[in-house]
Amino acid sequence: MNNQVTSLGYGYVASAEQRNKVMRNTYWLLALSLLPTVLGAWLGVETGITRALTGMMGMIVFLGGAFGLMYAIEKTKNSAAGVPVLLGFTFFMGLMLSGLISQVLGFKNGPSLIMTAFGGTAGVFFVMASVASTLKRDISGMGKWLMVGAVVVVVGGVINMFVGSTAFMMVISVLVIGIFSAFMLYDLKQILDGGETNYISATLSLYLDLFNVFQALLSLLGIMGGERD
């Protein structure tokens, strides 16, 4: 009975056994990917290596490094090099996150804000995973609209680099949380329905969802709840 197949408009027919295996491997690799992220963030905070990466220079380094490594992941996802490349990517993302974490740690209640953002992100993931496991309808059509939303917030973020508006930053953070929470649901449903059969690609998608939700939530908490000494 476990060998039944499903096809929900993704152009691929996957057995239930294969879908479960992809999901299981994705969860394990996603948990493992958090370790290099924490290491990268810790190294960045301790050394201050990313302090000079501000403004447009920081954006160029971040986008260049992130898209370069994502391209490498795509090229190696079917080989033994795929997992190390993915973990290298998550280390880089942690390093890039260290600037924001350093800012938040500058608040008197910085550590509690970080833990709140972490807990909130975990909560969003739990809710989206629960919804994805019970949702019966095909939501593959959401993908293109979510991508448009992602492009909008990226453009908004670039504009705000020059405007420097706190209110605009709050709006962008709220939009990021909403869009990437929906992306989380979409990506989880892709795996559950057999639309994504490579666990490295699946892990990358979910990692980016979690990273963006955490970063936006931490920014929002810092703006709204940061306590100065």
Model confidence pLDDT, tens digit, residues 165-206: 888 889 999 999 999 999 999 999 989 888 888 999 999 999
Residue 95 dihedral angles phi and psi, to the nearest 5°: -60, -45
For residue 106, tell me if it sits in a domain: yes
Residue 60 included in any domain: yes
Task: Supply the range of the domain harboring residue 164.
Answer: 14-225
Cβ neighbours of residue 126 closer than 8 Å, sequence gap 6 or more: none
* 146 in any annotated domain: yes
- pLDDT over 90 for what percent of the chain? 53
For the chain, give the longest Cα–Cα distance. Answer: 62
pLDDT of 160 strictly over 50:
yes
Q: What's the pLDDT score for residue 5?
A: 42
Pairing of β 5-6 and β 14-15: antiparallel
Question: Residue 158 falls within a domain, yes or no?
Answer: yes
Is residue 6 one of the residues assigned to a domain? no
Residue 96 sits at the vertex; the CA angle it makes with 95 and 101, to the nearest 5 degrees, is: 85
Domains: count for the chain? 1
Higher pLDDT, 124 or 164: 124
Of the listed ranges 54-68, 110-124, 128-142, the least confidently predicted one is 54-68
Q: Is 8 domain-assigned?
A: no
Within a domain: 5: no
Cα distance between residue 178 and residue 172, in whole Å: 10
